[in-house]
Structure 1
């Protein structure tokens, strides 16, 4: 990376972090370019050198957050998605600690991102971001369980909204409970045990 690329990257990173900080305080429609520039310590001309609109900055920020998020998972996407068709049904429940712990650690370490997403779901594209999860993971799993296609959106909504509600409450409490505790709560809500294996 040469000096100008490094300077561009640092400015973009500052803008991303500033946007996330402001989104914790207010809705996107009340954030101005002037305020963003002032908080980030950059000129308006620098902003317009990087972005045409605040929406461009939002899109860049979401991409940065998604890259960070994926780096928390030990497995590559192909490993997770590649062999869904050949797995046994008992392996198709992805609400396991293997997947929950990295997800919850990321949330805990990026609380302001998630608080901003819950405060501004439309501008942070919170629900459209679940498209890949629905299409590549939840859809094929529900198909393997022979859930009728017309019913699948209901199952997906229950799954996603339920976990989101737990995460939202955890954030409201400033993520005070340990990640392992929240993972256990989510697991028990999604897959309640009958008690027979706790003898």
Structure 2
């Protein structure tokens, strides 16, 4: 990365962070280019050098968050999904410590992102990330447990909303409790035996 690319990247990162800071305080539709520039310490011409609209900045910010999120995990999603089909049914759990701990560490280290996402779920496209989780992780597991397809959306809603509720409470307390404690709580709430005995 040469000096000009580095400067461009740093300016873009400042605008990403400025957007996240503003999203903690207000809804996206009320955020202006002027506020973003003020928060990032840049002028309007710099903003328009990088983006045509605030929506472009939102897209870039979401991509930055996604890359940061993936860097916390020891394996790529393809490996997770590839292993799922070969696991014995008794070893198949909806939430494992292997993926729960990095997820919770990411939340702790990026509290601002999650507060913004919960305040602005539509603009932060939270539904997209959970849509991928439901499609690629939860649905295949529920299928392996022979949960009828008509029942699966309800199970998925229960698990996802339950985990979100725990995360929101943890954020409300500024992630003061240890990651391991929150992982224990989630694991104790989400047990594969609950599915296999639910019929």
1:134 maps to: 134
2:184 maps to: 184
TM-score for both structures, normalised by structure 2? 0.92
1:60 maps to: 60
Where does the alignment leave 5 or more consecutive residues of structure 2 unmatched? 194-199
Runs ≥4 in structure 1, deviation > 3 angstroms? none
- Comparing 184-193 with 4-13, greater Cα deviation is found at 184-193
After TM superposition, list the pairs within 5 Å mapping 1:120-159 onto structure 2: 120-159=120-159
TM-score for both structures, normalised by structure 1? 0.92
Q: CA separation in 2, counterparts of 1:44 and 1:50?
A: 10
Q: CA separation in 1, counterparts of 2:77 and 2:94?
A: 13
1:14 maps to: 14
- Comparing 162-171 with 149-158, greater Cα deviation is found at 149-158
Displacement after TM superposition at 1:139 (Å) = 1.3
After TM superposition, list the pairs within 5 Å mapping 1:37-186 onto structure 2: 37-186=37-186
- Comparing 77-86 with 63-72, greater Cα deviation is found at 77-86
Displacement after TM superposition at 1:64 (Å) = 0.6
Q: Is the partner of 1:46 in helix, strand or coil?
A: helix
Equivalent pair of 2:20/2:113 in contact (CA under 8 Å): yes
